[in-house]
Amino acid sequence: MLTSIFKHIQNKLNSLPVKKDHKRRYNSKLFSGKALGINQIEKPKLFLLGTCQAERIYETAQQHNWLIRHQLCDFGFYTTPEKCDTEYFDGVLLNPTLRAILAAADENGNGDILNKQLASDYQSFEKRAITVMCNMLSRYIAYYHKEITVFVISFIEPPASASGLINKNRQQSIYTLIRTLNDELEALCYAQPNVYYIEINDVRTLLGDRLVYDGYDINYAHASYYAGRARTHHLNQALLYKIESIWRVVKCIDPVKLIITDLDNTLWEGVLAEQDIIEGWRHTEGWPLGYAEALIQCQQRGILLAICSKNDTERTLENFKMVWKSKITLDDFCSIQINWEAKSKNIAKILAETNVLPQNTLFIDDNPLEIAEVKQFFPEIRVLTVPQEGWRRILLFSPETQISSITEESKKRTVLINAKKARDEIIQTLPREEFLKSLNLELHQNSIINSMHPRFERALELINKTNQFNSTGQRWSYAEINHFFKSGGLMFTYAAKDRFAEHGVISVLLLRNCVIEQFVLSCRVFGLGIEQAIIATITNKLCSEGMHLKSLETGKNHSFINFLDSLALQTSKIHQNQIVTPSWIQIIHEA
């Protein structure tokens, strides 16, 4: 009876015409996360490896004008990774075949029906399956990831009650086995740089599991979806949008570095100043809890948080503590501007304190009039306003609020900005040189010759996210940076430490054949003489005949252009001993 009802619903849905706006609702709003995007980029050109399931992805990609090539591959031990033209393709998309892995794990080569094997010795079979999968896919990942970005699609997981309505589904079942394989697959992907795990199961569930997943009618090990159905087309389209979104993250397109939030009807429901009695849960239950959780998640990705609210300062700070207690605290915000001044003026203060550009800032406020006032002064700032229910999804899933890897510097960015603010306060009370000497400033230099260095990930992140002090504005892919290394290029990283904090890697310089190809510096350490010290060290120690400094005005790198002007160079060449390291900076050369 239940099956016939499912089939009736399925036939009804498949018979419905697919409207263009219906497609857009599935793709753009649910999966592409384009609410915060500014610049369009070309879709990545993909080299797809897989079997019949990959064929469905290939067909959808072609219909939506993706440049893609499909190579038939089941990742078996007898196969050899296909050579990929890394000059043409942007990424390799691996769609591993579950039944091939399960067959290789079974002593009799049976990868289709596993009930007996799992019932007799689940632990041994699971261990063999994990080993087989890791050995199969490790060969392909190792072959590609140093030259090109690798995307790996997860296995489709069976329904949670795959073993029956009252059996132990979460302990030793086909459901548990495939979930465990996905856990191990994700770990395998993130053990190597430039490899990204693509989860397909959340998309599949959202689109209607019974309407796309063929495991209800075909064996679970097949782990695929129905061909020719509208929902299957949507699933593949959503999967491609996921890849496009990850590509935006990898390329650091339009990153949000700072989120400024209002309070009343934004971080909590209602206007607290109008309440005689404040019961915290009444003002946070529902969308405010989801919004606050998303803000903390963004902070853990390295995004700075700030408050801009029209209110009485002291009373509002007390209300904040009363409402949120320890769930989200005032210490989570790097700047708090609560007063009755225009919000544009307060946002200007926040931007000055954090050294973040308006185009890398997101302002969230329930009042469209406040949004309009801020946009008048900062046209490039990104904004969100009512309805509040959409904020959480946008913050959690937009590519602009994510980073390709979370580094130690990312985790403690709020602490480091607060250290900068402490420096800024003290400099107002001392003569400049006396203040700089009091910092006990150290620069720790590392040289990097390949992408395996432990500081490489942070260095690449800094290059690709820095705008203000960036000599050329160039963004680098893994393939491009590896080609740079192979052609004799060196990457120098500089970690700063002063009496306020250990700031981590704050500058990167790319050097090849006595040419500074690119030079970037974090906005947290502007004005300390660090940029001068780095140029002096490189020029005086490495190139006795001097070196050339490449530069390009990008419209955003005003800080670098000002530094260049301060050097008063007649040409792009910097001669040995032309620039001197400031006396208050100690350079420490590390391996």
* CATH number of residue 158's parent domain: 3.40.50.1110
Nearest to 461 by CA among 532, 530, 413: 413
227 and 312 belong to one structural domain: no
Domain final residue pick, 250, 271, 298: 250
549 and 445 belong to one structural domain: yes
Would you state the pLDDT for residue 387?
Answer: 94
List per-block mean pLDDT (blocks of 10 residues) for the chain, which spans 591 residues: 45 44 40 72 95 91 96 88 92 95 90 85 94 96 93 92 74 90 97 94 83 80 77 88 93 95 97 85 93 97 96 96 95 97 98 94 98 97 96 95 82 83 84 90 95 91 94 91 94 94 94 95 92 92 85 94 86 83 93 68
The verdict on residue 419 lying in a domain is: no
The verdict on residue 409 lying in a domain is: no
Domain final residue pick, 230, 250, 270: 250
The verdict on residue 85 lying in a domain is: yes
380 and 454 belong to one structural domain: no
Would you state the pLDDT for residue 164?
Answer: 78
CB-based contact 539:518 (threshold 8 Å) = no
The verdict on residue 38 lying in a domain is: yes
Which is it for strands 441-448 and 490-497: parallel, antiparallel or unpaired? antiparallel
96 and 189 belong to one structural domain: yes
86 and 149 belong to one structural domain: yes
Would you state the pLDDT for residue 397?
Answer: 93
Number of domains in the chain: 3
* CATH number of residue 507's parent domain: 3.40.630
Would you state the pLDDT for residue 34?
Answer: 57
82 and 108 belong to one structural domain: yes
> Would you state the torsion angle of the CA atoms of residues 94, 100, 106, 111, taken in this order, to the nearest 10 degrees?
130
Residue 163 Cα distances to 160, 167, 200, 325, angstroms: 8, 6, 22, 44
- Give the DSSP letter string of 73-142: ----TT--PPP--TTT-SEEEEE--HHHHHHHHSTT---S--HHHHHHHHHHHHHHHHHHHHHHHHHHHH
The verdict on residue 571 lying in a domain is: yes
Compute the half-sphere exposure of residue 499: CA atoms within 13 Å on the CB side of its CA: 10
357 and 223 belong to one structural domain: no
Burial tier of 267 (Cβ tally within 10 Å: 0-12, 13-18, 19+):
buried
The verdict on residue 423 lying in a domain is: no
The verdict on residue 490 lying in a domain is: yes
* CATH number of residue 369's parent domain: 3.40.50.1000
Would you state the pLDDT for residue 17?
Answer: 43
For residue 328, which amino acid is it?
I
Residues in the chain: 591
274 and 199 belong to one structural domain: no
Would you state the pLDDT for residue 31?
Answer: 47
Range of the domain at 171: 21-250
86 and 109 belong to one structural domain: yes
Would you state the pLDDT for residue 21?
Answer: 37
122 and 170 belong to one structural domain: yes
445 and 482 belong to one structural domain: yes
Nearest to 343 by CA among 304, 385, 315: 385
User: Which tokens sit at 469?
Assistant: 């002090």
The verdict on residue 413 lying in a domain is: no
**Other Cβ atoms within 10 Å of 433 Cβ, number:** 12
Beta bridge partners of 384: 364
Would you state the pLDDT for residue 417?
Answer: 86
Question: Cα separation of 250 and 464, whole Å?
Answer: 9
124 and 234 belong to one structural domain: yes
